[in-house]
Amino acid sequence: MPRMSAEELEQFLYSHFPDTAHRAVKVERVESMFAQVRLHYDERHLRPGGTISGPALMMLADTAMYMALLGMIGPVALAVTTNLNINFLRKPAQADVIGECKLLKLGKRLAVGEVTMYSEGDAEPVAHATVTYSIPAVRE
């Protein structure tokens, strides 16, 4: 069972990361070992050619993984990305992008997940990422 709700995760994200102040992402759903996060369409995320940029998709993948992880372990601000590998599969539409993260491994010190990203309303993925997070040791 998740330790934090979608609303609690979103509030945590906005309070700890000032760059998210423009609220580009929305935590839509959190379940056991899973989170769904939406990147709201914004022209600031476009690259030349009118497509959602790679950095915006990487931010979505990283955020989805962070939310899935914190959903399971609670508000651990110092959990950090140690690896992110992304494959861009096809051109995203000029629309919201939904990232669905499934945790593949949740250990005491490391978590591994995969994030599949879709343009809203499209069943074919636009990108796929694998992400590894380091979880800080519990200090007693």
Does residue 75 surpass a pLDDT of 80? yes
pLDDT the model gives residue 45: 86
Give the residue with greater pLDDT, 62 vs 47: 62
pLDDT the model gives residue 140: 57
Which of helix, strand or coil describes residue 38?
A: strand
Q: What is the pLDDT of residues 17-58, one digit of tens each?
A: 877 646 789 999 999 999 999 999 988 888 888 889 999 999
Which domains, from first to last, does the chain contain? 6-134 (3.10.129.10)
Alpha-carbon torsion (79, 81, 83, 84), positive or negative: positive
CB 129 within 8 A of CB 85: yes
pLDDT the model gives residue 20: 63
Ramachandran angles phi, psi of 106, nearest 5°: -130, 100
Alpha-carbon dihedral 92, 106, 32, 68, rounded to 10 degrees: -40
Q: What is the pLDDT of residues 89-120, one digit of tens each?
A: 999 999 999 999 999 999 999 999 999 999 99
pLDDT the model gives residue 43: 82
The span from the CA of 25 to the CA of 123, in Å, is 20
Q: Give 119's contacts (C-beta < 8 A, 6+ positions apart).
A: 92, 93, 95, 96, 97, 126
pLDDT the model gives residue 49: 84
The span from the CA of 50 to the CA of 48, in Å, is 5
Q: Give 140's contacts (C-beta < 8 A, 6+ positions apart).
A: none
The CA angle 64-126-132, to the nearest 5 degrees, is 35
CB 59 within 8 A of CB 93: no
